[in-house]
A = this chain, B = another copy of it.
Amino acid sequence: MSRPKKIADDCRSVSCPSKRDCILSAAQEIFLEMGYGAASMDAVAARANVSKATIYAHFDNKRALFDQVIRGRCRRFFQGGDILAQVDAASDARSALRQFASDLLSIILSPGALAINRVVVAEAPRLPEVGETYYAAGPVPAQARVTAMFNDLTRRGLLAVPENEAPLVAELFLNMLKGDLHTRALLGVAPSRDDHAPLVRIAVELILARYGARPSAVSGGP
């Protein structure tokens, strides 16, 4: 009975530097899996092994907590430079585009990305700034990255995308990849096919058919 005071000092796990981070981590889990409306501060407190009062000592109210959670996730997305890593080393346009497409799909369709997407879309009408933040941290850098890639491939003579068209083409390329797969994943509808190779292949061929530098062997490639 020497130390009856400090009982629940650990936040259920490692990697909880401060109580504040511990709360943010728990809140993120709760919000992403239950949605903003269904999530309760009690649930967050329980998961964080903290009392509700402690939460309110760090955050003004539920909405502010939610805001910080989303902003935190967005920052991590943005900082994660590993996302959409370099494909510049690739030899030809076809393989560069394909590799890029695969990487992008695996990111966009990951459970974490889907969860945050759902929550942000759901609350965007009530929290416009959250929508803006998310858009600026996800789609905007992705599109910039693809635009740069098109310009680079064109500069190297592997593609022929006019520089003023590049942003629009980048948008269309991203759209082609994301589209229906993303919709299905968001809605919880079982995907029609488990691998995305055919879709990626034809999307790439559509780009090459119009913007390929050479007459471009239109066949599927390796």
- Give A residues with C-beta under 8 Å from B: 33, 35-38, 118-126, 128, 131-132, 134-135, 139, 143, 165, 168-169, 171-172, 174-180, 183-184, 186-189, 198-199, 202-203, 205-207, 209-210, 218
Contacts and interface: CB of A to CB of B under 8 A. Distances in A.
A217 B139 CA distance: 33
Most chain B beta carbons < 10 A, residue from A126, A169, A180: A180
Given A171-B179, A209-B209, 8 more contacts: A36-B37, A118-B124, A143-B180, A168-B198, A172-B199, A206-B207, A206-B209, A209-B210
A4 B176 CA distance: 63
B172 A202 contact: yes
17 contacts: A118-B122, A118-B125, A119-B122, A121-B186, A121-B187, A131-B187, A132-B187, A135-B189, A143-B180, A165-B202, A172-B179, A172-B199, A172-B206, A174-B179, A175-B175, A176-B176, A206-B206
